[in-house]
């Protein structure tokens, strides 16, 4: 009878136990690899819906290195190996928004050109890797126009060529005006 009471107590306690994982500590390729209410973010890490995709922007590296969990490993794989495997190199990116004020263009090395005449009227977005230098070049698109300045803090002190290293999503604005 005592054994039955202990088993009942353990079952009751087991029903109350709800393991959880800290956000940004488990790498993933799909939501099926995340536990509880976590989802797989664009940065390849499981996190709560309001955090997912922003793990790298929340102070960089998290205290524990992400671990890859294979939930449906199948008979041929070794679950212990899957848990001990180093995390994949998940490229984390940020959005670079380029806006153009006046008649001009901004060339973003390796990404393309944003022009006032096309490309959503000079409001373009590009995905760029975090922590990797990006170069943007402002060019007047008409002979009677000139580049005046960047009106955003990221490139404010730069000339027509601005090189910066994004640590989060950023907007740069190139201002063009008529030649005096």
With bands split at pLDDT 50, 70 and 90, how would you rate the model's confidence at 119?
low
Per DSSP, the three-state class of 149 is: strand
Residues 23-38: what's their mean pLDDT? 75
Asked if pLDDT for residue 7 goes beyond 80, the answer is no
- Note the pTM of the prediction, 2 decimals: 0.49
Q: What is the pLDDT of residue 124?
A: 93
Residue 119 burial (C-beta neighbours within 10 Å; 0-12, 13-18, 19+): middle
Asked if pLDDT for residue 23 goes beyond 90, the answer is no
Asked if pLDDT for residue 12 goes beyond 80, the answer is no
Q: What is the pLDDT of residue 38?
A: 84
Provide DSSP, 90-121. Answer: PPPEEEEEEEEESSEEEEETTTEEEESSSHHH
Q: What is the pLDDT of residue 25?
A: 65
- Can you list the alpha helix ranges (DSSP code H) found in 17-96? 79-84
Q: What is the pLDDT of residue 137?
A: 96
**Over the stretch 122-139, which tens digit does the pLDDT of each residue have?**
899 999 999 999 999 999
Asked if pLDDT for residue 177 goes beyond 80, the answer is yes
Q: What is the pLDDT of residue 87?
A: 42
With bands split at pLDDT 50, 70 and 90, how would you rate the model's confidence at 10?
very low
With bands split at pLDDT 50, 70 and 90, how would you rate the model's confidence at 155?
very high
Tell me the domains of the chain and their CATH numbers: 21-84 (no CATH), 93-178 (2.60.40)
**Over the stretch 45-100, which tens digit does the pLDDT of each residue have?**
777 887 777 655 443 333 333 433 333 444 444 444 344 444 434 458 999 999 99
């Amino acid at each position: 009878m005592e054994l039955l009471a202990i088993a009942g107590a353990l079952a009751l306690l087991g029903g109350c136990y709800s393991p959880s994982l800290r956000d940004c500590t488990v790498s993933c390729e799909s939501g099926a690899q995340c536990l509880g209410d976590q989802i797989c973010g664009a940065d390849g890490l499981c996190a709560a819906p309001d955090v997912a995709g922003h793990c790298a922007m929340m102070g960089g590296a998290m205290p524990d290195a992400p671990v890859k969990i294979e939930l449906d490993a199948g008979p041929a794989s070794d679950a212990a190996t899957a848990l001990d495997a180093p995390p994949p190199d998940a490229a984390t990116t940020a959005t670079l928004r380029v806006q153009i004020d006046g008649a001009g263009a901004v060339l973003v090395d390796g990404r393309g050109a944003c022009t006032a005449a096309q490309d959503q009227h000079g409001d373009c977005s590009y995905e760029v890797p975090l922590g990797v230098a990006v170069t943007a070049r402002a060019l007047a698109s008409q002979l009677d126009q000139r580049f005046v300045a960047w009106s955003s803090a990221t490139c404010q002190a730069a000339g027509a060529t601005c090189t910066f290293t994004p640590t989060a999503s950023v907007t740069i604005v190139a201002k063009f005006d008529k030649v005096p």
